Amino acid sequence: MTAHTGDIPTTVVFDLGNVLIGWDQTGPLADRMSPEQWRDFAAEADFSALNTASDSGVPVAEVVARAAARDPRHGEIVSLYYERFEKSLTGPVEGMAEIVTDLKASGTRLLGLSNWSAETFHHAPQVAPAIAELEDVVVSGREGLIKPDATIFETLLERFDLDASRTVFIDDLPANVEAARSLGLTGLVFDDAPKLRADLRELGLLTE
């Protein structure tokens, strides 16, 4: 196939977690806590806020210290979570490596934009090799910015000299997709590979 012309988008930007690579936060401590016990802990320790801090660029050591300041046991669990972080990655999302391959073959420019800790990101392409097929990935923890903050999308557009009107952004979280749309990107909420393939066909990016 030849490179895209006309009004067809020229660039596709993927979120990574639960789009190209599966993520299950119960995995690192699965040998010590049931999923229910982890969820109870996560609520008690406000793990969501701790994870967001890490994704925003706060060093893991500081995140662990924040958890420990609230409860020493929380600190121990959060420390173990990051030590075993690779166990939270469940493998490539079914059907997505093929979509990356097909888009790349069509001449589409491929990038990533992910909320991810700079200290754990190296695990991602090892577990889901399709990530290494992307031209580059803007990682929130490296930027000190996090989706859905418009600034991280602006960083993406400026760094890679993208035309927002011809750029497609794919994410499993509607709030992030809405943020992209507000800046003029075409936003697709990811459910699964078959639906995404159909959406990309409708945009003229894939033919089958």
Q: What is the pLDDT of residues 72-128, one digit of tens each?
A: 999 999 999 999 999 999 999 999 999 999 999 999 999 999 999 999 999 999 999
Over residues 148-154, the mean pLDDT reads 98
Over residues 155-175, the mean pLDDT reads 98
Look at residue 207 and tell me whether its pLDDT is greater than 90: no
The number of beta carbons lying within 10 Å of the beta carbon of residue 36 is 9
Q: Are the CB atoms for 128 and 24 separated by under 8 Å?
A: no
Among 13, 3, 9, residue whose Cα is nearest residue 159: 13
Q: Which value, to the nearest 10 degrees, does the dihedral of the CA atoms of residues 179, 145, 41, 25 take?
A: 80
Percent of the chain exceeding pLDDT 70 equals: 97
More confident residue, 137 or 208: 137
Residues of the chain within CATH 3.40.50.1000 domain(s) are: 11-20+93-202
Per the listing, tokens 């993927």 go with 14
pLDDT of residue 6: 52
What are 63-87's pLDDT values in tens digits?
A: 999 999 999 999 999 999 999 999 9
Nearest-angstrom CA–CA distance, 10 and 205: 8
- Fold observed for domain 11-20+93-202: Rossmann fold (3.40.50)
